[in-house]
Amino acid sequence: MVFSSLFFLYVFLPVCLIFYYLCRTINQKNVVLVISSLVFYAWGEPVWVCLLIVSAFVNWLASGFISSLGGEKKKKLVAAAAIIFDLGLLIVFKYSGFIVENINAVTGLGIPVPNIVMPIGISFFTFQAISYVMDCLWGTVEPQKNYFKFLLYLSLFPQLVAGPIVRYSVIDKEISDRKIKAVDISEGAKRVILGIAKKVIIANNLYAVVEQFFGTDITNLSFFGTWYTVILYSLYVYFDFSGYSDIAIGLGRMFGFHFNENFNYPFICKTISEFWQRWHISLSSFFRDYLFYVPIFGKPRKYFNLFLVWFCTGMWHGASWNFIFWGLYFGIFIFIETKIGKKRLKKWNKVWTHIYSKIIIVIGFGIFYFTDLGQLGRFFMNISGISMLTNGNALWDVLTRDSLLNNLFLIIFAIIVSMPVLQKVKYFFYKWGNNKVYAVGQIGGTLICCALLILSSILLVDNTNNPFLYFRF
C-alpha cells in the first residue's frame, strides 16, 4: 500500500483515523496503530510482516538484556549480537544477490545467484532498530519494557516503509503519553496534502520527462539534453522523497507524534557538506552519530571513518556499484571541503559556491540514476561534452528544446517550490502580519490545500502504479 493512492487516502486512512479518535485511552490508540501498521505493511507483503515482528522482538529482547546485565563487556556483546542480526537481515535480503554476482565475476565460479524478494522498508526499520540498541547501550534512552510499545515504534506505518529514520528518543514519551490537539490534526492534514501534491503533481510529471530521455539508450543524447534531463531528475528525486517525508511527518502529527524534519531546502546549499546537512537528514545524522564518531580499531580515524560513512551511505541505497560510486563521489568532495576548511569556504564568492555545489549535486544524481555501468559511462561522456568529439553528438537538439518549452511552467514551478519562497509567504501570513492577515492566510491556505487534494485525486484516478522512489531502498 502506498500513500499516493486513492485507496489509502479515502479508505484506509479515514477508517484508521475514525477508530483511533474513538478510542479514549493511549493504550487503545496504540492497539489501533499497531494493527493498522501491520495491515498496512502486510497489504503488499503478507509474508514479510512476520520478519518485522521477529526483528522487533529480537531488538526488544536485546535491550532488556543490556539493561539487566552487569559489566560493559556483556552489554557490548549483547548489543553486537543484535546489530549482527540486524545487518544480517540486510545482507541476506538486500545484498546476497549482489555479493554472489561479484564473486562469480571475480572468480569465474558459477554459484547460483539467490533471487530473494527484498522486504519493503527493511533498510529503514533495520536502521531504527540499530539506533535503538546503540542508544540503550550508551544509556541515552531507557529500554522499553513493553514489547507491544516497541513494536509500535518500529512498525508505525507513517514512517515504516520509506522513512524518515525516527530515533526512539524522538517519540519515546509520546508512545505512552501524547495529546492530540485540533492544530495537530489541521497542520498534519495540510502537510499530508502538500506531500501528496509534491509527489503526484510535480514528481510524477518530472519523471515522465526523465524517462523520455534516460529511459532508453542515451548514446546519441545531446550535451544540453543530458544536462536538462539530469537536472529534472535531481528535482524529481527531491520532490518524490521530500513529498513522502512530508506525508509521514503530517500523518505522525495527526496521530500525536512529532517526527524530526528530513529535508531543509537542500538546493539552497553553498557546499556539498551543507547539502548533506539539509538532504535526507535522518540518514546522514544516523551515520554521523553511529559510525563517523565511533572509534575504529580502538581509536578515532577521521578520514577513514569519513570514507567508510560514504561507502555505507552509497551501499545503503542499493545493491549496485553505481550507488557505491555515488556515495564515494560525495565523500571525496566532502573530504576536499574538510581539508579546505569552513573559514576559507565562507570567503569564497557565493555565486561561484552555488554554481559549484549544484554542478556536483546534479552530476551525482546522474550516478544515482544509472545502475547500468555502460549507460553511466555514456552519461559521463555526454555531460562532459566528450561524446560531441568522439561520437559526433549534437550540442542541442529539437526534442530537448520542445520538451523544455512544453514543460517550462512545471520546471519553473518546481524550482520555486524547492526554494524557501513559500515558507516566507507562510511566515508573512502566519507570523508577521496582524490578525486579519493571519485569518486571510488560514483561509487561503485551507482553500489551496483543498484544491491541491482535488487535483491530486483527479491525477490519481488513472494512475495505478504510483510507488515512491525510496520504497526500493
Higher pLDDT, 430 or 323: 323
Asked whether the predicted pLDDT for residue 328 surpasses 80, the reply is yes
Q: 244 and 297: one domain? A: no
Which residues, including other chains, have CB under 8 Å from residue 66's CB and lie 6 or more apart?
A: 75, 78, 79, 133, 136, 137, 143
Phi, psi of 468, deg, nearest 5: -85, 150
Q: What single-letter DSSP state applies at residue 424?
A: H
**Residue labelled with grid coordinates 546485565:** 69
Q: 92 and 38: one domain? A: yes
Q: 29 and 167: one domain? A: yes
Sign of CA dihedral 127, 130, 134, 135: positive
Q: Is residue 351 part of a domain?
A: yes
| pLDDT, mean of residues 379-405 | 92
Question: What span, in angstroms and rounded, lies between the C-alpha atoms of 292 and 305?
Answer: 5
Q: 42 and 164: one domain? A: yes
| pLDDT, mean of residues 66-85 | 88
The burial of 135, by beta-carbon neighbours within 10 Å (0-12 exposed, 13-18 middle, 19 or more buried), is given as buried
Which residues, including other chains, have CB under 8 Å from residue 158's CB and lie 6 or more apart?
A: 247, 248, 249, 251, 252, 255, 257, 259
DSSP string for 139-208? TSSPPPS-HHHHHHHHH-TTTTTT-----HHHHHHHHH-----HHHHHHHHHHHHHHHHIIIIIIHHHHH
Q: For residue 414, what are the domain limits?
A: 182-263+395-473
Among residues 134, 153, 178, which one ends one of the domains? 178
Q: Is residue 155 part of a domain?
A: yes
Q: 154 and 167: one domain? A: yes
Among residues 326, 353, 384, which one ends one of the domains? 384
Q: Is residue 66 part of a domain?
A: yes
Q: 50 and 119: one domain? A: yes
Q: 138 and 173: one domain? A: yes
Task: Return the closest-CA partner of residue 461 out of 9, 3, 5.
Answer: 5
Tell me the three state secondary structure of residue 260.
Answer: coil
Q: 16 and 155: one domain? A: yes
Which residues, including other chains, have CB under 8 Å from residue 84's CB and lie 6 or more apart?
A: none
Phi, psi of 414, deg, nearest 5: -65, -40
Phi, psi of 372, deg, nearest 5: -80, 115
Higher pLDDT, 96 or 163: 96
Q: Is residue 1 part of a domain?
A: no
Half-sphere exposure of 316 (CA within 13 A, CB side): 22
Per-residue pLDDT band for 194 (boundaries 50, 70, 90) equals: very high
- What is the model's pLDDT at position 290? 86
pLDDT tens for each residue of 102-145: 998 888 888 888 888 878 888 888 999 999 999 999 989 999 99
Among residues 149, 178, 207, which one ends one of the domains? 178
CA dihedral of 198, 200, 205, 207, whole degrees rounded to 10: 80
Please give the positions annotated as active site: 317
Asked whether the predicted pLDDT for residue 442 surpasses 70, the reply is yes
Q: 114 and 54: one domain? A: yes
Q: Is residue 390 part of a domain?
A: no
Phi, psi of 6, deg, nearest 5: -65, -35
Question: What span, in angstroms and rounded, lies between the C-alpha atoms of 406 and 167?
Answer: 43
Q: Is residue 452 part of a domain?
A: yes
* Mean pLDDT score of the chain: 89
Q: 206 and 92: one domain? A: no
DSSP string for 26-41? HHHHHHHHHHHHHHHH
Q: 378 and 435: one domain? A: no
Asked whether the predicted pLDDT for residue 473 surpasses 70, the reply is no
Whole-angstrom Cα Rg for the chain = 23
Q: Is residue 389 part of a domain?
A: no
State how many domains the chain has.
3
Q: 14 and 116: one domain? A: yes
The β-bridge partners of 296 are 299
- What is the model's pLDDT at position 214? 93
Q: Is residue 429 part of a domain?
A: yes
